[in-house]
Structures are given as structure tokens and as C-alpha cells.
Amino acid sequence: MKAIKTYRYKLYRSKRNRHLDKAIDTAASIWNYCIAFHRRYYKLYGKHLSANKLKKHITKVKRTLHPEWQALGSQAIQDAVERVDRSYKAFFQHHKQKRRGRKSPPGFKKRRRYSSFTLKQAGYHFHNDRNTVTIMGRDYKYCKSRPMEGIIKTVTVKRNALGEFFLYVVCEIERNEVLPRAGKAAGYDFGLKHFLTADDGSTVDSPEWYKASLKELRQAHRTVSRCQKGSNNRKRALLHLNRVYQRIVNSRRDWFFKLANQIVSEYAVICIEDLNLEGMKRLWGRKVSDYAYAEFVGILEYVAASSGSTVVKIDRWAPSSKECHICGGRNDSLSLRDREWICPQCGAQLDRDINAAINIKNLGLAMLNA
């Protein structure tokens, strides 16, 4: 069975990385040119410009008006055009399906906010005997943290806010089909009081990395606001601010992987709830963003898929909190303030989160066996 796997490697700091920095800035210029040309074409003809027509136009432009674009490579230029086309198609699809939430058309990007370019069949070469890669004629060393397997499909060079460069290598590999393993099942309820509540009553509390670093973030933001725009002090202050944010992201992600591996090692079937995260953010804001439920669920599904465990998502509208897991009686008057309640039919005293976790487990197992 063929599968897609992405490898992430960090490039060593070097003076020659400035060439990659310049290449990303060139890709940003191509993006902005395509956006401006799209708007001009729509104003004249009243219709969308196809990717093929835009590619032909960009090929002429790089030979005449902007010969400096040729240093980036034709593959990366075509990928920048395809990114613009995908963004416009996503915008039109959003409005066609009348989805909720604002979806604005693609706009111009500052160079410092444009972060990557992608090479497909050409423009790169990995040297297997050493940790070196040749990108557009220049050699760069990278931290080869693990061996690469499979056929390389794309190589993306990405720059983060700290000026560090990473390689994202997408490979097609042959993977043996992982059969679902037998074992125990568990249901987990996401909450605001506890990050996770299991059906056996155990809880997992989030370290809340953003909240823990809030004082340092406020001080870093204050330092940036007091510096004069364009000064070297402001650049150093911005680097420090981005470094704090990067530490929060890395710490949270590391904790997510450790928690996901712990859960997957104990249970073969993991039942969770599909949450309306956008609605939760509007109600509780920063705490929901700090918990980062969506990122954890993605990591949990990834870890479970590679080990044979199964993640089952129940419907978000299922009455997991309002329904008694003993007799099935419903308490429609239950509010978010009620942490414990008594079933109106059987009289059982129930903990809100534990009862929800048990219902999530029962509904997930029913879906799995259906």
C-alpha cells in the first residue's frame, strides 16, 4: 500500500542561507504580481483567470520585465502561480457553498510574511553519503535527524519568524497495512475545567503554555511597541517576541505527542467528540485557543493510525452531557454551570464530564460496530 510521508529537517545556520532568503522574497514578488494581474483581468473581463493562462503569462514576464525571477527556478515559479489559483478556487467554493464565516479573496503579502517555496521534479539533489542537499545549484547542510525513505515528490524550503530554514520533504513510501488491534476502549470528553476527562473518572489537565508565558509575552509586546519602527532595537525585540511564541508552540506540541502516545499505548479504541471549535472560541476565546483541541486531535489520529488503534468521532450534536448513561433519561434544563446533576428518571447523581465521557464511549462503540 502506497502512502505519503513528510520529513522535516532543519538547515544549519550559514551565510549562504541568504540565497534561500532571497528566493523566498522572489516568490513573494511573484505572488503579489499574480494577485494584481488577477484583479486587473477580472476588472476587464469579469471572469476568473485560469492557472494555465497565468503560467504562460508569467513565463513571458520572467524573460522580459523581471529576468531576476529566473534565479528562483521554473518549478518554484509554477508552484507560486498554483498557490494563487488554489486560493481563488477556495474563495469561490466557500461562497458557492454558502459556508458560515468570512472568507476574503487572496490578497497581497509582505515579503517577511511569505514563508516558503516548493520544488517538484527538479532543482534539488540529496547526497546520501552526507547530510547535504543541493538546492538551485548551491549546497546546504541540514540536520539529518532520521533517514529518508521512499520516492521524493516535493521539497519545500520554509522560513520561520526567527529566520530559521526548514526542509519539508514529501515522499511516497510503501507501507504495510496496519490492521486494527484488539484491546480496551476509552471515551474522552474535552472540557474547559479539565483538558480531558476519561470514562473511568481520570482527568488530564493542560499546562496551558500560553497562560504560563502571558507575563513574558506582555513584556515582549510592550518592548516592541516602545521601539522606533525600522530600528535595530525593534528587530531584536521582534526576534525575542517570536522566540517566546515559538517556545510555546514547541512545548505544546511536545506535550501533545507524549499524551497521544500514552493514550494510544493503553487503548485500542479511542472515542472522542467532534467539537464546534469556532463557536467555542467565540464564547471562551483565549482558553480554547490555548488548549488547541484541533491540533491534539490531529496528532492523536496520526499516532493511532501508525499503531493500529482506532479513533472514533461521535456527532457534535449528540446529547452526551444531558443524557444519563444508566437509564438514558435526558435533562434538557442542564446548563454549563451545572457540574453535577441528578437524573430525573432513575435518581442517579452524575458528574457532568464523566457522564459525557461514558456516553461518548458508548456512542463510539455503537458506531464502530454498526
Nearest alpha-carbon partner for 307 in 272, 262, 274, 360? 262
Q: What is the pLDDT of residues 144-153, one digit of tens each?
A: 999 998 999 9
Counting as low any pLDDT under 70, the low residues of the chain are 101-102, 370
pLDDT of residue 101: 66
**214-228 in b/e burial notation, b at 16+ Cβ within 10 A?**
eeeeeebeebbeeee
pLDDT of residue 370: 65
Residue type, 232: N
Nearest alpha-carbon partner for 198 in 368, 370, 364, 334? 364
- Please report how many Cα atoms fall inside a 13 Å half-sphere around the Cα of residue 100, on the Cβ side: 3
pLDDT of residue 262: 95
pLDDT of residue 54: 93
Contacts of residue 76, defined as CB under 8 A and 6 or more positions apart, other chains included, come to: 23, 27, 117, 118, 119, 123
Q: What angle separates helix 214-226 from helix 232-266, to the nearest 10 degrees?
A: 160
pLDDT of residue 278: 76
The kind and range of the H/E element at 271 are strand 269-273
Q: Residue 75 and residue 83: Cα distance in Å, rounded?
A: 12
pLDDT of residue 312: 93
Could you tell me if 143 and 131 are in contact, meaning their C-beta atoms sit under 8 angstroms apart? yes
